[in-house]
Structure 1
């Protein structure tokens, strides 16, 4: 009201370019970790951090404003590479021992941004059919991950296997909610991939990158078209995948870590592990909620 009386219109705050660059670097690192953290999806984190939609549109029309978009996503790519390499080291050293703690923190990241994500999904309106899509997708992805939570078969790694693994990781970006790491664990490839990345084994890294790029370029245009045509339905579909996959993490990854055998490996008591998991979940939730509020406060230029 006071603004109307004085005739002053406040311009939206713009974030400092340097700070923005490092924020995108951090987002990229977290998305990279999401690619190799069991139970999570890099695509889910890309959606949560507001990267998914512009990235898909860029990749679907890669020649349009190529330089500007490439520079925008450069820190994201650097961050993703850093996140993948650093977490590969963590995987080899500690993830097997402290899986519940790591995953609880990242599930907290997901939970804290749910209000913002739900708001984004309804930006162009929300129909009862959209809520139906959300519920059905949540149940379906939860059931799928629950059924797939059992170890499948051991696969001997080779060039084609790593190319296929790269394709899976690409799908983890294009299809938020899909966790490529879960499939890699099921086929006995997860620890081998982590070691290969940590040791900079290009026999592992190069086919992974090729498979990832091929998958993303093949399916980005389809994803972009679906968003243009069915924005609300697609976003509620993705939201359902986010919720379903996040809920499925508990029975497939977190709860098994509380068995007596796993607690002994971690050197933690049941209550100690539970308390630390809850604490990390709360930390992740609060941090991501605050982060989403900062994102809303500093709107970005529509450059895509």
Structure 2
């Protein structure tokens, strides 16, 4: 068992609770994104035993974060929204130089790659103009169609979780089921958790194989897409300027902390 994945899973679980922050980005920052895709896609094959030791501690860490920290994240976003968002902005921005250097964009990116990067960044940044209702009442009763809706929402969110730059929580928010998911986790509503979770599981299986194939076949184009998504996501996460001096100082500290963490892990995983 790779028990260090408990820590990785905790960080990914926390990020996936927050609209605008991608668990895939955290996997890139911590240096195990390629391994994650390989393990998830390989788990449902004849070689599944090789991946249990990697995936089980990761899933345990993510599950622990989702269940135990959903209320804390809700509290931080409710009462310390601006500094919290600046912390994640620091995390996100810090990974861009690492990815650019990893793909050697200066030598490997052609004009078409920069165009794809720009389009991806603009598309994700444009989500800042979408204003979904974060205070929407969570679902309390289930029907056949609501079950299908929650399942496919989990499916779409899982695809976003694996692709750096797109937040699964943001997808749930745009689909109008974010409040239901957070309510289910904080109250341990097992039926709702099972429905959304099964959609997430199926999405992981399908999307991990697709993303892994595309990265192997079109690595430079995929990195251009990923970098563009990450750049665009910073506009979504940006909470606006601090309303007072104390919040501004706190935001500078949290932003620097996030940037410092990313720089540390990027340097540690260099090469």
Q: Does structure 2 conserve the Cα–Cα contact (< 8 Å) formed by 1:108 and 1:284?
A: yes
Structure 2 matches for 1:48-59, cutoff 5 A?
48-59=29-40
Answering whether residue 78 of structure 2 is matched by residue 96 of structure 1, we say yes
Q: Pick from 295, 298, 301 the counterpart of residue 269 of structure 2.
A: 295
Distance 2:179 2:138 in 1: 13
1:118 aligns with: 100
* Partner of residue 122, structure 2: 139
Q: Quick one: which of 261, 274, 280 aligns to 2:254?
A: 280
Match of 1:12 in 2: none
TM-score, normalised by the number of residues in structure 1: 0.77
Where in structure 1 are there 5+ consecutive unaligned residues? 1-16, 259-268, 300-304
- Of 181, 192, 203, which residue of structure 2 is paired with 1:204? 192
Aligned partner of 1:9 in structure 2 is none
Gaps of 5+ in 2: none
1:212 shift after superposition:
0.3
The within-5 A match list for 1:142-181 is 142-143=125-126, 145-151=127-133, 157=139, 158=142, 159-181=147-169
Partner secondary structure for residue 208 of structure 1: helix
TM-superposed deviation, 1:28: 1.5
* Structure 1 residues 150 and 107: CA distance shift in structure 2, 3 A: same
1:229 Cα deviation (Å)?
0.8
**What SS is found at the alignment partner of 1:21?**
coil
How far residue 238 of structure 1 moved from its aligned partner, in angstroms, is 0.7
Question: Residues 67, 226 of structure 1: CA spacing in aligned structure 2 closer, same or farther, 3 A cutoff?
Answer: same
CA contact (8 A) 1:155 1:188 kept: no
CA distance in 1: counterparts of 2:101 and 2:26, whole angstroms: 16
**3-state DSSP class of the match of 2:165?**
coil
What secondary structure is seen at the aligned counterpart in 1 of 2:19? coil
Residues 154 and 198 of structure 2 are in contact (CA less than 8 Å); yes or no, is this contact kept in structure 1? Answer: yes
1:234 and 2:219 correspond: no
Q: Which moved more, 1:29-38 or 1:63-72?
A: 63-72
- Deviation (angstroms), 1:276: 0.6
Structure 1 distance, partners of 2:225, 2:105, is 14
Q: How many pairs are equivalent?
A: 263
Q: Let me know the Cα RMSD of the aligned residues.
A: 2.7
Bigger shift: residues 166-175 or 195-204 = 166-175
Q: Is the 8 A contact 1:40 1:245 kept in 2?
A: yes
8 Å Cα contact 2:23-2:162 kept in structure 1: no
Moved more, 180-189 or 106-115: 180-189
How far residue 165 of structure 1 moved from its aligned partner, in angstroms, is 3.0
Preserved CA contact (<8 Å) 1:48 1:117: no
Please name the residue that 1:32 is paired with. 13
The Cα shift of 1:221 comes to 1.9
Contact 2:120–2:228 under 8 Å retained in 1 = yes
Distance 1:95 1:294, change over 3 A: same
Q: CA separation of 1:61/1:21 partners in 2, compared to 1, >3 Å: closer, same or farther? A: closer
